[in-house]
Amino acid sequence: MAKKITIGMRGKIVLVSVISIVLLVGITILSSCNTVKRSAPEQYLNDYVNVFAGNATVGHTSPCATTPFGMVKVGPESGLTSWKYCAGYQYTDTELYGFSQNRLNGTGCADLGDLHLFPFSGDWTKAEYKSAYNKNTEKGEPGYYTVRLEDAKVNAEMTCTPHVSIERFSFDDPTSANLLIDFQSGIIWDEKGFHKKIVSATQNFVDPYHITGNANTEAWAERWYYYDIEFDAPYTIKQELPLRDENEKAPRYILTFKLANKQPLNVKISISKKSIENAITNIEKEMPNWDFDQVKDKTQNSWNEVLNRINVNADDEHKMLFYSSMYRLFEQPENISDVNETPFYSTLSLWDTFRAAHPLYTITSPENVNDFVNSMLDQYDKQGYLPIWPLWGYDTNTMIANHAVPVIVDAYLKGFNGFDANRAYEAIKTTLTVNHVDANWDLYNQYGYWPLDNIDQSASRTLECSYDDYCAALMAQKLGHKEDYEFFLNRSNNYKNIWDSSNMLMRAKDKNGKWREPFSGFDYYVPNTDREKRDFTEGNSWQYTWHVMQDIPGLIELFGGNDKFCEALDKFFTVSHNYENPKDIPSDVTGLIGQYCQGNEPSHHVAYLYTLAGQPWKTQQLINQICKTRYNNGVDGLCGNEDCGQMSAWYIFSVLGFYPVNPCGGEYILGAPQIEGASIDLGNGKTFTMKANNFGEKNIYVASVSLNGKEITDWKIMHQDIMNGGEIVFNMTDKRP
């Protein structure tokens, strides 16, 4: 049979803006080896990964099967059309709509969910195509997912390679095996958007074993994808279902298969950003046969290799917490290029991940860092400014500032040389000086801050842009661009222009230099604007005041010295506020300790500021508290959106005993380890070991710490100290120093 169906017209680009936040502090320069040499895995660590952690409430994670940095994330869908279902799944749901080939990991925005499948035995009589499922049969491991669909009378299994999924469906009645393919379906904000998501679509029914096609979608980003679907048994088209809404542009088909007794149906699906031909090539190169178990084993081995890059000495509970975090960290960025192309990484949640995830990649996955940077530079060539939040190579322009800048500069200062430094600096300078989306630099340079009457979230934008400028200054300095260095360094001090000494808080002001009135440090939204305007991105003044990561000494000086700074921190971690309406608190603000918000990224460095102000024991106590109370191995184990690995990166660093308060340049501030020890395979033939002497439940403080036998008194180590290999030893105690 040969049937071709073309539906719809290409639509206009839709870009969805959300919001963002800030950070600041630091300095340093280092070098790092870009070659990779690792030992063979010593343990099978996949058993310590709980892929269901964070699958309920606000974590927005999924038990999908995927590979490290893989494009495919094939897994279940229990919902598609609300913020709750940004990953298409909530563990507590009792029914599944089926399975799709990709999704996002822990984001606060919705997209993907392409090529939806729903297998079922016999005739379907229910109004909706969804099935109750047996929780006892639902199992997930790195690279593998399986579940029993009770109403559909099917056992479903799935695994994948980086670009190709394979799904194995075992029907109770193989002689009446059916498969619904929904080309319209996808993960999106609401029901109305669901029916409009597909702008145009083409399906090519090539032969009884083969369907190809493409689709143009508009959700968080506008994008095109191309696919190749292959079956190991011949199909016939049983029925084309009616459209559910007049706005739908893609059909739904029920295919039927005649299978032998106990014969499962295997389905391979490859998705390409470029072409049908590339999608076909992906299958030919990555999955040439139909051996499901072989694919599963290979994918699970790839995960075990990644997890073995850090071996921890801990009890089983803490091992599971740690390796589940490692797993989520390596789910992205995604290499969205095809097997015959140079790697191109997207799904870069840079507003989140520049803080800890990307610094952690420079330690745990240095072989990928140059490709991350080159991907950002390639996108700069395409759009004229560095990416802000790129999805599938299309910039969503979500969040604020441009935190590709610190990621690139951090890589450069750490000695990564697999990209053109001059090209990278040109991209940074252009991004930070030439007007583009939400970046009117002429206005910013005129006032020295973003005026509240010209732009939303003006205070947090000022703070975050100050940090990006600091990073640009470091690269300009090293490259010998003296004037640029002075320009960016001077502009990195713009944070001081929104400091209100009367309130001892950061605050928005207008073009005339007048402060926002009325003002409360607790407000997330501008009063009397029906929650439509804000001065701070997903936060309030209390939470953003500490976002001067490039100049903590300068911030301490504004407070009047270490003692007053720590007094303000004490209040920050204890003060609460009663809001008349729960809607006055954004959904992103979760995991509160006082005003500290572990569930959202702007607070992630703040617990470590006590150490920089001379009271390290308070940092140590807080790190212990946060790790114990804001992370667990349950389906509600994350107190906020996972945000593409950032929540997990914070946990990994903090458990190991150090954290990049200033995430550009390679300085790590010491906290207190939460496990007895760890060994990091650095990929350069060397190992960095952490040991916590006298480790115990009550011994949460650090009496002393040494690096390679030499005592550390300034509570910091450098990236090169780690990459040189060696041992850091914490001597723990139950007594506050």
Summarised one tens digit per residue, pLDDT across range 457-475 is 999 999 999 999 999 999 9
Give a three-class secondary structure readout of 333-350.
CEECCCCCCCCCEECCCH
User: Greatest CA span in the chain, whole angstroms?
Assistant: 79
pLDDT value of residue 39: 83
Q: What is the mean pLDDT of residues 62-89?
A: 97
Could you tell me the pLDDT band of residue 530, with boundaries at 50, 70 and 90? confident
pLDDT (tens digit per residue) in 183-241: 999 999 999 999 999 999 999 999 999 999 999 999 999 999 999 999 999 999 999 99
What CA–CA distance (Å, rounded) separates 632 from 320?
9
Of 684, 725, 720, the C-alpha closest to 33 is: 684
Residue 352, pLDDT > 80, answer yes
pTM of the model: 0.94
Residue 102, pLDDT > 90, answer yes
pLDDT (tens digit per residue) in 470-507: 999 999 999 999 999 999 999 999 999 999 999 999 99
288: helix, coil or strand?
coil
640: helix, coil or strand?
coil
Q: What is the mean pLDDT of residues 11-17?
A: 28
Quick check: bond before 63 cis, omega within 30? no
pLDDT value of residue 531: 86
Of 672, 664, 232, the C-alpha closest to 468 is: 664
What is the b/e burial string over 537-563, where b = at least 16 CB atoms within 10 angstroms of the residue's CB? Answer: bbbbbbbbbbbbbbbbebbbebbeebe
Could you tell me the pLDDT band of residue 34, with boundaries at 50, 70 and 90? low
Q: What is the mean pLDDT of residues 619-628?
A: 98
Helix (H), strand (E) at residue 134: strand 131-141
Residue 150, pLDDT > 70, answer yes
Residue 272, pLDDT > 80, answer yes
